[in-house]
Structure 1
């Protein structure tokens, strides 16, 4: 699969990341087939979080991939922390304790990337900085990032954190594209012009922070997928038309739409279906034209001013 640099790091990663949030839905043999297929097609970047399955997803993954030193050298592991029952927590103690748990469940000595999962209203950047310094100096974490954060929240962290923020995981899909729409509808009197995220797309591009779109097939907030959905007839007709031209599936085109954006995003899949994962990864070989990208954008109900 085609690769890219992650943020300002020297880490070379596949353009599509394999999300493991639902791996606990698979039986042992199916989980093993899934991760092995991912490796065979070059999808060796695996995204986790300590809350997925209450930690069981990381355990199931490490068993399925049969984690050992040889396997560890061939994969890139990312996990997230900062969410606990009834609260978000970026305290030094919670971050350090969470990482130790993540490493234990993944049966590894280090994470390639650690993301702070959801913004903590009570964050103290100095505590985050102390935690990151300890994790880096001990070799437990090599790179750091955030998830679901706006520019000022990242700037606040950078006030104390010295490590580069290499990634920001954000909800983004063809039907959830407000971060794109508000940049098109600048100074317009319509809902698409509302800046809901502080221009996070432009901020990440300016600061070489890789955006990792999560739920790339979802509409709303986990309301369902738009592909094959009767609620989006025009969009599906257009995607199917373009998919036929490139001789790929609609799944491939939906990911290719994100990859076509010059921000050099790294979509995170969520499927546990092997064939769909393969289709997602084929998107790295499809380069939509400017006209096709805008046709899909408009077919989703977005209007150009």
Structure 2
């Protein structure tokens, strides 16, 4: 599969990341087959979080891939920490970050993470505590690269006040139908709702600072309200346009939805959450398709986005 550099790091990663949030929906043979298929497709970047299945997803993954030193050399592992559902809060304290990483490593049966992301902003964050945790994790070899999730430019800048490691990735909700970070850029100084800058120009900020955007929920509309593909009741024009372009390339609508994200020059790495092998294969095919400018804009407009 085609690869990109993750942020400013030297780490080459496939342009499609395999999200493992739902791997606990598979039985052991299914999980083993899914992971093996991903590897065969070149999709060896597996994305986790300590809250997925309350940690069980990481254990199931390690079991499915039959984690060993030789297997570990074949994969890139990313996980996230900072959400504490048991306490109803977010927690970027040094103690919690260090404790979380140790638990993640144990569940994944590995000595290190390639990437650790901070999951959701913690308004009580003390940047010096995060810096101390990152320094300890880096010096011990437990984490090689660091990033954030769902953070705006000023939140990242606040962390960078103390954190010395490059923040290589920012995981953000983005899809054809959830594209405010793109649409507001078209409506600068306009008197309409699309002009509202809801995220501090995070798209341009990440491009300026070479931070890889990892779109999550690339097929969802709203906040987990449902998928837009095949939803002709809510998105008839969008599905018509996607289906026409899919037919032109001889691929599925799933492939085109991912290709739309990959066409953006920000060099994004979509996180695919499907546990369906056929859909995974369709997602990976997007790495070989480059939509034309006209096709990209026609999809954008057909989702209801109006160009000024």
Measured against the shorter chain, the TM-score band is over 0.9
Pairwise CA distance, 1:256:
0.2
TM-score with structure 2 setting the length: 0.99
The alignment status of 1:276 with 2:279, answered yes or no, reads: yes
Residue in 2 that maps onto 1:152 = 154
Pairwise CA distance, 1:139:
0.1
Pairwise CA distance, 1:5:
0.4
Equivalent-residue separation in structure 2 for 1:292 and 1:192 (angstroms): 22
The alignment status of 1:120 with 2:122, answered yes or no, reads: yes
Residue in 2 that maps onto 1:82 = 82
Which runs of 5 or more residues in structure 2 are unaligned? none
Pairwise CA distance, 1:8:
0.1
Equivalent-residue separation in structure 1 for 2:108 and 2:147 (angstroms): 19
The alignment status of 1:55 with 2:55, answered yes or no, reads: yes
Equivalent-residue separation in structure 2 for 1:24 and 1:227 (angstroms): 24
Equivalent-residue separation in structure 2 for 1:135 and 1:192 (angstroms): 41
SS in 1 for 2:298: helix
Which runs of 5 or more residues in structure 1 are unaligned? none
SS in 2 for 1:203: helix
SS in 1 for 2:56: helix
Pairwise CA distance, 1:132:
0.0
Residue in 2 that maps onto 1:182 = 184
Pairwise CA distance, 1:100:
0.2
Pairwise CA distance, 1:3:
0.5
The alignment status of 1:68 with 2:68, answered yes or no, reads: yes
TM-score with structure 1 setting the length: 1.00
Which of residues 241, 259, 262 in structure 2 aligns to 1:256? 259
Q: How many equivalent pairs are there?
A: 305
Equivalent-residue separation in structure 2 for 1:191 and 1:142 (angstroms): 41
Pairwise CA distance, 1:16:
0.3
Equivalent-residue separation in structure 1 for 2:260 and 2:247 (angstroms): 15
Pairwise CA distance, 1:189:
0.8
